[in-house]
Amino acid sequence: MNELEQFYEKLNESGYDCRSNHTINSELQEISQILNEKGDFSTLEISELERQAFSISKSFGKKQNDYDGTIDGLGWKTAGTQTFEDGTTGPFYWPDVRDLQEKDFQYFEDRYKNCSNLYAKTEFGLLVYFGSKTVYSKHTDFKKQLFNKLYSLSQQYLENAINPSDKKRYNLDYITTLNNAFLIAHKSKLKEELNLIIESIYKTHNTWDITRGGSLRILLDLSGLTSEYYKIFKTKVDYDKIISKNILGAKEQEKTHIWGAIYITDLTIDIGEKTNKNINYLLEYKAELYIKLSDNAEKGNNMAAVTFTENALRIYQQLKNKSKISEIEKKYSEQRGKFKLATIRQDFPKEYNENITSYINEVVSSSSENQIIYYLISTPWFNKIESIQSIAKESKKENVFIPILGSSILDKFGNTIETFHTEEEKNLFNFWRSYGFNFQVGKQNMHQFFVVAYTSGKISFKSIISYLENTWLNEPIIRKYNGEDVEIIPIDLIKPSIKRIFEELDNYSTNNEYEVDCVTITDSLVLKIETLIRNFCEKIGIATFKTRQKGKDKLVMEKLLDDMLADIKHSVINQTGFDEEDRIFIKYVLSEKAGLNLRNTVAHGLLDIYEYTFSNIIVTLSIILKISKYSFTEK
């Protein structure tokens, strides 16, 4: 019996589960090293395939993407850049699931059939299911068996999560495994299995102890499934009980985590709307939660209080609650008088704020107009990507509390707009979360810097335009429209809005009761940035359109912003010269669902009046200046 066969036996007899992945990988690495030293290369190849099996990410969220090293359902664990013998570089993925052959999936099938460890069996089973390369993978009996194994494993994780001594937070593993089982039953039309798991989801939700740790995750994800797949659940569960349990959960969350209560309430409102229930009492409760947030923020001298109060006011206006409208309007008016040029601020120690203020005043005082513009381009108030990645890794190691859903993003309407299920997806979520914390602090400091620079006469419409007129934004671009040459100059599209920024500031300076028009400026600048990115692509020869097939016809459509941001990413192969710090900054602000996502919210009319802030105007102006810093030479 060789070392790999010994591992098979040990694995079968072990209690390894998803939390043992690192141990499994280490053991297989040691085996591969021994086999290599022995010169047993055929067994070594199998050992490495076994190791890959546990490292490949498996998720219904994975889609075929040759440029991202994924196929449907399967993806890599680590990615980077590799250098070839000729000195060129290219993307590196491990495991590279695109290289898997039918014989590899046959191996996974054999391991699925012969492995008795429940966790390992489901890992091999998911590889067979998503790979869909063998005849067996298409059998209904296989899908039923895989469902049963995944369901059993999810219940095992649930028992661990319920155990008061659970320190590993198995609730997330329960949800992930349960979700895979549910989707296999749903997509494979396994009627009995689907009924079983629906009953289990419903029972677990109804009997869950809301005082237990991890309740937010359980209530949101389980009731979220009943909402997302309403057509499947509607005749099989009592939504009144789901709503009642969610309300109890929200009340419990309110004691320690008001935002958690809001997220549960938002989802419950969504369920209420789908089931034609009266949701006015839920809206009233949500408004009360916003008032609590407002009171807490005001006590901490946090300008977010204005936003929270207006959120509550909007809800009461929707409900036409006249007495509450009058009460909250008074509170809102008082707060608006207290907080000027509203921006969300972090609550920092007094000494920290004093040091930052002193530093900003000193920098502005000693800087010229051009140096002020340089600061808005370099944005030194924000950490570099490498630093944020380190912070994200450390936060993961220390198990810092990850807010809501941890692997899902809800918009303000309670809709799930992005999910993060696999390990790399969760790592990406953790990065954006860390980036967001850093961004809020940086944005606050940049806002203060800009205001000081303006009041000191160090920045103006004239200084901004004088700078931009000496950049590529003032160079003509020749296009052909209907066979005729047309000259466009990018700066012409942004001048009016930049001018409006300083006109509004001037009006506010002479009358501090004046309400700055953030709406018109934001809407214009956000959409014009996409135009500038398109212009940049044109300058370096990147196509700004793509083709798609519609029946027999080949149609041409303009690329989306995310397409262009991906296209301008600099690499050895794709030498665009675009600063990666700038690209990630722009992506977070304009198109990342875990970020501000301004381009989408502006274009689709999703921003409410209170969400238009002067801080965001400064950020968009900074992005325009960042884009302008490049110069182009003919090759």
Question: What secondary structure, in 3-state letters, does 2-44 show?
Answer: CHHHHHHHHHHHCCCCHHHHHHHHHHHHHHHHHHHHHCCHHHH
User: DSSP labels for 161-226?
Assistant: HHSTT--S-THHHHHHHHHHHHHHHHHTT-HHHHHHHHHHHHHHHHH--TTSTTHHHHHHHHHHHH
C-beta of residue 272 within 8 angstroms of C-beta of residue 283: no
* Amino acid in the structure at residue 423: E
Tally of CB atoms within 10 A around 333? 11
**CATH, domain range 94-337:** 1.25.40
Question: What is the C-alpha R_g of the chain?
Answer: 28
% of the chain surpassing 70 pLDDT: 89
Q: Residues 20-39: pLDDT tens digits?
A: 998 999 999 999 999 999 99
pLDDT at 390: 78
The residue that leads in pLDDT, 217 or 526, is: 526
What letter would DSSP give residue 137? G
- Whether residue 366 has pLDDT greater than 60: yes
What's the average model confidence in pLDDT over 376-404?
A: 70
Highest mean pLDDT among 295-304, 305-314, 620-629: 620-629
pLDDT tier at 356 (50, 70, 90 boundaries)? confident
The residue that leads in pLDDT, 273 or 543, is: 273
Residue 603 CA: distances (Å) to CA of 110, 245, 564, 591, 600: 51, 37, 17, 11, 5
* 203 token code pair: 């029972």
Among the ranges given (129-133, 477-481, 575-579, 618-622), the one the predictor scored with the smallest mean pLDDT = 477-481
pLDDT at 169: 72
Q: Residues 316-344: pLDDT tens digits?
A: 999 999 999 999 999 988 887 676 543 43
pLDDT at 323: 94
- Give the residue from 474, 626, 572 showing the smallest Cα distance to 81: 572
pLDDT at 339: 62
Peptide bond just before 95 cis, omega within 30 deg: yes
- Whether residue 591 has pLDDT greater than 70: yes
pLDDT at 307: 80
pLDDT at 574: 82
What is the distance between the alpha carbons of residues 56 and 239, in angstroms, rounded to a whole number? Answer: 37
- Whether residue 16 has pLDDT greater than 80: yes
pLDDT tier at 44 (50, 70, 90 boundaries)? very high
* 349 token code pair: 């120690």
What is the distance between the alpha carbons of residues 127 and 53, in angstroms, rounded to a whole number? Answer: 8
pLDDT at 415: 43
Residues in Cβ contact with 582 at an 8 Å cutoff, skipping those fewer than 6 apart: 623, 626, 627
- Whether residue 251 has pLDDT greater than 90: yes
* Amino acid in the structure at residue 357: T
pLDDT at 434: 82
pLDDT at 174: 93
- Give the residue from 538, 540, 588, 580 showing the smallest Cα distance to 562: 588
pLDDT at 635: 52
% of the chain surpassing 90 pLDDT: 57
Name the residue with tokens 């907080």: 339
- Give the residue from 422, 635, 428 showing the smallest Cα distance to 539: 635
C-beta of residue 578 within 8 angstroms of C-beta of residue 592: no
pLDDT tier at 419 (50, 70, 90 boundaries)? low
What letter would DSSP give residue 92? E
- Whether residue 193 has pLDDT greater than 50: yes
- Whether residue 408 has pLDDT greater than 60: no
pLDDT tier at 229 (50, 70, 90 boundaries)? very high
**Burial environment of residue 330 by CB neighbours within 10 A (0 to 12, 13 to 18, 19 or more):** exposed
* Phi-psi sector, 87: left (phi>0), alpha (psi -120 to 50), beta: left
- Whether residue 55 has pLDDT greater than 70: yes
The residue that leads in pLDDT, 432 or 133, is: 133
Name the residue with tokens 């930049």: 498
* 562 token code pair: 């995310």
For CATH 1.25.40, the residue range(s) in the chain are 94-337
pLDDT at 132: 95
The pTM of this model reads 0.58
Q: Residues 116-164: pLDDT tens digits?
A: 999 999 999 999 999 999 999 999 999 999 999 999 999 999 999 888 7
pLDDT at 418: 52
pLDDT at 405: 38
* Diameter over CA atoms, the chain: 87
C-beta of residue 586 within 8 angstroms of C-beta of residue 565: yes
- Share of the chain residues as helix, strand and coil, in percent rounded to the nearest 5: 65, 10, 30
pLDDT at 412: 44
- Whether residue 533 has pLDDT greater than 50: yes
The residue that leads in pLDDT, 231 or 415, is: 231
C-beta of residue 348 within 8 angstroms of C-beta of residue 326: no
Highest mean pLDDT among 179-193, 200-214, 413-427: 179-193
Bridging pattern class, strands 416-419 and 484-488: unpaired
The residue that leads in pLDDT, 348 or 245, is: 245
- Whether residue 56 has pLDDT greater than 90: yes
What's the average model confidence in pLDDT over 261-289?
A: 95
What is the distance between the alpha carbons of residues 270 and 267, in angstroms, rounded to a whole number? Answer: 5
Task: List strand residue ranges (DSSP E) for 371-527, in order.
Answer: 408-410, 416-419, 477-481, 484-488
Among the ranges given (90-94, 324-328, 518-522), the one the predictor scored with the smallest mean pLDDT = 90-94
pLDDT at 351: 62
The residue that leads in pLDDT, 127 or 348, is: 127
What is the distance between the alpha carbons of residues 313 and 327, in angstroms, rounded to a whole number? Answer: 9
Name the residue with tokens 């299911």: 129
Tally of CB atoms within 10 A around 431? 20
Instruction: Please tell me whether residue 312 adopts helix, strand or coil conformation.
Output: helix
Residue 352 CA: distances (Å) to CA of 346, 349, 357: 11, 5, 9
pLDDT at 466: 93
The residue that leads in pLDDT, 461 or 389, is: 461
Among the ranges given (208-217, 394-403, 604-613), the one the predictor scored with the smallest mean pLDDT = 394-403
pLDDT at 505: 92
